[in-house]
Amino acid sequence: MATLYENYITGDTDSRGLGLNDWVAQTFTPSISHTVTSVKLKLWRGLCGTVTVSIRATDAGGKPTGADLASGTIAQATITTVSPGALYEVLLGDGTALIASTKYAIVVRAPNANTDSSLQWRIDTTGAYTGGGEETSADSGVTWTTADPNFDLMFEEWGGIPTAPTVTTQAVTSISGTTATGNGNVTALGFPDPTQHGHCWNTTGTPTTADSKTENGAASATGAFASAMTGLVFGSKYYVRAYATNSAGTSYGSEVTIDMLPSHHALGAYKRQP
């Protein structure tokens, strides 16, 4: 579950228009290291187009700098046309790790020109947020200006402390020739959700994702899963573990073993030969 970290939703005295080359940012300083996964902004709009919201680092002067560390979008149709607007959550994909006491920026831009009918971000012109403030750019984020040190835009910054997922390994089934089915269970997703999960195996023991593995993709819910293990060698013994990976690391289930032997029918047929 996401946690609210930095925020400023006090005052709300005016709106800051933005669009096309006119970008707007609110800088903030987290007091706890964590991964930001979404932001909520108080918005209303005219004809703004799809809005892009991102997290960027700041330079020594506290201005947004560099490429996006994480980003997301919000469709025009989602945003109300009625002032003073509402809080809208923008998901930032896998997010990005933030370091305590380091200033970052929430950067917002929209494709339509900045007019009275473009995107409007609500602002407190007598703001009191001590971790940052409003920054504006008239050249698509190349240079930034502090309009007034007391201006603060309405924002909430959400995320969590990364924790590793947990998985268990069940017995391998459908062992046949050079293939088998690995079975596992994601018992806890951790934070953020796993970006990859599956099974890994080798012939020496304690397999990791550096060995042969399946990749079942991201996991957004706990529960059982299966993997199609291929390329196995007849007559070999394999050690198998389920795994799941997120930004906190890779977790493994307990180890199970399989012997790639012929099926009972094949073995029986072999024994009947003279």
Residues 6+ away with beta carbon under 8 Å from 120: 15, 16, 17, 18, 43, 44, 45, 46, 83, 85
- What pLDDT is attached to residue 261? 75
3-state secondary structure of 86: strand
Record the pTM.
0.74
d(Cα 190, Cα 196) in Å, to the nearest integer? 12
- What pLDDT is attached to residue 262? 58
- What pLDDT is attached to residue 117? 67
Q: Provide, for the chain, the percentages of residues in helix, strand and coil under a 3-state DSSP scheme, each rounded to the nearest 5.
A: 5, 55, 45
Residue ranges for the chain with pLDDT beneath 70: 1, 116-117, 262-274
- What pLDDT is attached to residue 267? 40
Which residues are registered as beta bridge partners of 183? 170, 226
- What pLDDT is attached to residue 116? 65
The values of phi and psi at residue 264, to 5°, are: -60, -40
- What pLDDT is attached to residue 120? 96
- What pLDDT is attached to residue 113? 82
